[in-house]
Amino acid sequence: MNTSVLDAPAATTPAGTLPIGADERLLLRGGPLAAMIYAAAIGFAAWFLSTTHPAFDASPLQAAAGFRDNAWQLAVSTMLFLLPMPFVLMFLGGLTATLRRAGGALTVTMFAAGLLDLALFASASVTSSIVATIGALDASTATGAVIKALDGVLPVAIAVAGLARTAQFGCAAVLLRRTGLVGRGLLVFTVVVAALGGVGVATVFAPLFFPVTELAMILGWVWMAVLGIRLGRVAVRQGDPQAESRVDPGRRRRRPAPCRESCTTASLRLPTDGPDVRG
């Protein structure tokens, strides 16, 4: 019988039965935590862009002076986008450990692509954050041109990271499909994010595609939160004492009480090996 690539391990890994131990459950919580910090970062960045951030069509001299005068806003924005890094790493580790039984090669690829996506975003954020320091040292027109160029590194880096995001979410979709740990809706959402990441790469050639790149990035953070919560609620497979010890006692399955009638009958049963006391 022919087996689809998507369902390859189904014979040895029944749907929804992969054990999620205590370590995996703990690491998967990094997804919602990272998403919450990213939400705060997006809110602050939106406020900064709509208030004192230099206009995108500003002259080099205006850009140099603008970033120089808004150094603290730029520093806070950068820090908020970098703070989730440890939690993203936690989530990637927990997800990799959870799905590795469904396909070792795909799991490694997913993990590597997630690391590359994170590294590109973090390095571009740090690079863009030095524009305030450069502006404070020299606010000339020539320096302003360099500042505007550095400020444009982040959108391009996010767009290029879309290729890694496509690989990461593509592998995750196949692995989640094999395990049966999530429903069809979340699977479709995973595929959509993967597709948007690939389309957003066009930002490198046409800036008008940047909203697609930004949408893919934000939806990726939402995906981390939803998947982390969903997998954290998956029932623990019986026989895994390490994971079962972490489950809320109120949610543990009650074991049936022993039959009282059997115990009473057994206690009244006469011994068979001793001397015969009858008659």
Q: pLDDT tens-digit profile of 44-67? A: 988 988 887 877 777 878 777 778
* Whole-angstrom distance, CA of residue 190 vs CA of residue 174: 10
**DSSP line for 95-144:** HHHHHGGG-HHHHHHHHHHHHHHHHHHHHHHHHHHTHHHHHHH--SHHHH
Rounded to 10 degrees, the C-alpha dihedral 201/206/209/213 comes to: 40
pLDDT, greater one: 272 or 216: 216
* Whole-angstrom distance, CA of residue 244 vs CA of residue 206: 52
Average model confidence (pLDDT) across the chain: 77
What was the pLDDT predicted at 137? Answer: 77
Nearest to 89 by CA among 60, 54, 61, 114: 114
Average pLDDT over residues 94-101: 85
What percent of the chain is predicted at pLDDT more than 70? 76
Whether the per-residue pLDDT at 33 is higher than 50: the answer is yes
Contacts of 8 by beta carbon, 8 Å cutoff, 6+ apart: 103, 178
How far, rounded to the nearest angstrom, does the alpha carbon of residue 84 sit from its chain's CA centroid?
Answer: 10
pLDDT, greater one: 123 or 251: 123
What was the pLDDT predicted at 34? Answer: 93
* Whole-angstrom distance, CA of residue 260 vs CA of residue 155: 71
pLDDT, greater one: 1 or 18: 18
* Whole-angstrom distance, CA of residue 275 vs CA of residue 279: 12
**197 is written with which tokens?**
């990441």
What was the pLDDT predicted at 223? Answer: 94
Is residue 37 within 8 Å of 83, Cβ to Cβ? yes
Average pLDDT over residues 145-162: 84
pLDDT, greater one: 80 or 49: 80
Whether the per-residue pLDDT at 36 is higher than 70: the answer is yes
Whether the per-residue pLDDT at 229 is higher than 70: the answer is yes
Average pLDDT over residues 104-125: 90
Whether the per-residue pLDDT at 263 is higher than 70: the answer is no
What percent of the chain is predicted at pLDDT more than 90? 28
pLDDT, greater one: 4 or 131: 131
Whether the per-residue pLDDT at 248 is higher than 50: the answer is no
* Whole-angstrom distance, CA of residue 202 vs CA of residue 196: 11
Average pLDDT over residues 17-22: 61
With cut-offs at 50, 70 and 90, classify the pLDDT of residue 246. very low
Q: How many CB atoms lie within 10 A of CB 241?
A: 10
Q: Which of 94-103, 147-156, 173-182, 270-279 has the lowest mean pLDDT?
A: 270-279
Nearest to 88 by CA among 158, 28, 165, 40: 28
From first CA to last CA, the distance across the chain in angstroms is 71
pLDDT, greater one: 194 or 67: 194
* Whole-angstrom distance, CA of residue 118 vs CA of residue 169: 14
Average pLDDT over residues 21-30: 82
Contacts of 211 by beta carbon, 8 Å cutoff, 6+ apart: none
pLDDT, greater one: 50 or 191: 191
Q: What is the gyration radius of the CA atoms in the chain, in angstroms?
A: 28
Is residue 228 within 8 Å of 87, Cβ to Cβ? no
What was the pLDDT predicted at 219? Answer: 94
pLDDT, greater one: 190 or 261: 190
Average pLDDT over residues 205-230: 90
What was the pLDDT predicted at 173? Answer: 92
